[in-house]
Amino acid sequence: MIPLRPSHVVFYAVVVTLTVTLAVGLGFWFIRQQMLTGNDFLLDAESKEVLARIAQVAPPIDAVKLEAALREHTATDEGLFYFQVHEPAGAVIYHSPNLGEQALTDLTGGLDKRTLAVPPLGLLRVAEYHTPAVHVQIAMSLRNFQSLNDDFVRVFVIGVPLIAVLTIGFGLTLRNSTLRPVRRMQATAARISASNLSERIVVPPGRGDMAALARLLNEMIDRLEKSFTHAKRFTADVSHELMTPLSIIRLHTERLLNDPDLPAKFQHSVEEQLQETLHLAGTLERLLMLAKADSSALSLQREPLATGGFMDSFAEDAQLLAESRGLKVVLAQNDSGTANFDQGWLRQVMFNLLSNALRFSPPGGVVTLTSRCAGGAWAVEVRDEGQGVAPDRLSDIFERFVQITPRSEPGSGAGLGLAICKSIVELHQGHISAANRTDRSGLVVRFSLPAEK
CATH number at residue 224: 1.10.287.130
Res 313: pLDDT? 92
Res 310: pLDDT? 93
Give the H/E segment covering residue 41.
helix 6-55
Q: What is the pTM of this model?
A: 0.47
CB 270 within 8 A of CB 259: no
State whether the Cα torsion 241-247-249-252 is positive or negative: negative
**Is residue 372 domain-shared with residue 446, that is, in the same domain?**
yes
Res 432: pLDDT? 92
- 154 within some domain: no
Largest CA-CA distance found in the chain, in angstroms, rounded: 160
Higher pLDDT, 144 or 37: 37
**Is residue 276 domain-shared with residue 360, that is, in the same domain?**
no
Average pLDDT over residues 349-369: 91
Res 83: pLDDT? 92
Res 65: pLDDT? 86
Q: Looking at the predicted structure, is the pLDDT value of residue 72 above 60?
A: yes
- 171 within some domain: no
Q: Looking at the predicted structure, is the pLDDT value of residue 406 above 60?
A: no
Q: Looking at the predicted structure, is the pLDDT value of residue 419 above 50?
A: yes
What count of other Cβ atoms lies within 10 Å of the Cβ of residue 422? 22
**Is residue 93 domain-shared with residue 217, that is, in the same domain?**
no
CATH number at residue 388: 3.30.565.10
Average pLDDT over residues 25-31: 82
**Is residue 277 domain-shared with residue 355, that is, in the same domain?**
no
**What are the tens digits of pLDDT across the range 279-288?**
777 666 666 6
Q: Looking at the predicted structure, is the pLDDT value of residue 76 above 90?
A: no
CB 364 within 8 A of CB 372: no
Q: Which of residues 266, 294, 322 is at a domain's end?
A: 294
Res 315: pLDDT? 92
Higher pLDDT, 171 or 296: 171
**Is residue 140 domain-shared with residue 78, that is, in the same domain?**
yes
Least confident of 38-52, 224-238, 330-344, 403-417: 403-417
Average pLDDT over residues 17-37: 83
Bridge partners, 445 (sequence order): 382, 434
Average pLDDT, the chain: 82
Least confident of 237-241, 246-250, 278-282: 237-241
Those residues whose C-beta lies under 8 Å from the C-beta of residue 65, and which sit 6 or more positions away, are 57, 58
Average pLDDT over residues 354-383: 92
Q: Looking at the predicted structure, is the pLDDT value of residue 290 above 70?
A: no
Residue 124 has φ and ψ, to the nearest 5°, of: -125, 145
**Is residue 311 domain-shared with residue 400, that is, in the same domain?**
yes
Q: Which of residues 128, 149, 170 is at a domain's end?
A: 149
- Residue 407: which domain range? 303-450
- 407 within some domain: yes
- 430 within some domain: yes
Percent over 90 (pLDDT), the chain: 20
Res 331: pLDDT? 93
Nearest to 435 by CA among 446, 425, 424: 446
Q: How far apart are CA 300 and CA 415, in angstroms?
A: 23
Average pLDDT over residues 252-276: 81
CA atoms within 13 A on the CB side of 81: 26
Q: Total domain count for the chain?
A: 3
- 287 within some domain: yes
- 159 within some domain: no
Residue 408: pLDDT band (50, 70, 90) is very low
Nearest to 83 by CA among 104, 58, 111, 110: 104
